[in-house]
């Protein structure tokens, strides 16, 4: 009788786990402070309508905190989704494709949202 242990014996660790783990935790610590602020703020911003939401994003402190929240959340999201893909997708090609898609999607969202914040911030009162 053989067990699945034979299929992992001798492979060693992938070698990138500690860095991944620490980055997941560091972004989590940042989000622990940023997310409560974000939830509180976005409720107010949403209720204020178009002009009110613009005024909210255009405040320098809000714009900075928003960019920090987006950056930490997107990095954290990418790390988390990477683990989910690695855990459940066994087929090599599909797995690689999804891992690349994960990175692309997060960076694209980051670029679009951070540029949106900067645009609102810089054009406010102009």
Q: What is the smallest separation between the CB atom of 113 and another protein, expressed in angstroms?
A: 5
Q: How far apart are CA 119 and CA 20, in angstroms?
A: 32
Say how far apart CA 60 and CA 67 lie, in whole Å. Answer: 11
Closest contact distance (angstroms) between CB of 75 and another protein is: 12
Q: Is residue 40 within 8 Å of 75, Cβ to Cβ? A: no
Scan residues 85-124 and list those touching another protein (CB under 8 A): 86-93, 95-96, 105, 109, 112-113, 115-117, 119-120
CB 121 within 8 A of CB 58: yes
Site size toward another protein, by CB under 8 A: 47
Give dist(CA 123, CA 46) in Å, integer.
20
Nearer to another protein, 11 or 16 (CB): 11
Q: How far is the CB of 120 from another protein (least distance, A)?
A: 5
By CB under 8 A, is residue 42 in contact with another protein? yes
| Whether the Cβ atoms of residue 70 and residue 63 lie closer than 8 Å to each other | no
CA distances from 81 to 23, 51, 95 (A): 14, 35, 12
**Interface residue list for another protein (CB under 8 A):** 4, 7-8, 11, 25, 28-29, 31-32, 35-36, 39, 42-43, 46-47, 49-50, 53-54, 57, 66, 73-74, 77, 80-81, 84, 86-93, 95-96, 105, 109, 112-113, 115-117, 119-120
């Amino acid at each position: 009788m053989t067990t699945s242990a034979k299929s992992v014996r001798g492979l060693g660790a992938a070698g990138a786990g500690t860095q991944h783990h620490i980055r997941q935790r560091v972004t989590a610590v940042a989000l622990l402070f940023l997310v409560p602020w974000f939830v509180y703020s976005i409720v107010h911003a949403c209720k204020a309508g178009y002009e009110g939401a613009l005024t909210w994003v255009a405040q320098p402190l809000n714009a900075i905190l928003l960019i920090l929240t987006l950056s930490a959340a997107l990095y954290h999201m990418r790390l988390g989704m990477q683990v989910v893909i690695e855990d459940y997708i066994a087929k090599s090609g599909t797995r690689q494709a999804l891992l690349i898609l994960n990175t692309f999607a997060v960076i694209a969202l980051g670029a679009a949202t951070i540029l949106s914040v900067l645009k609102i911030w810089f054009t406010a009162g102009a």
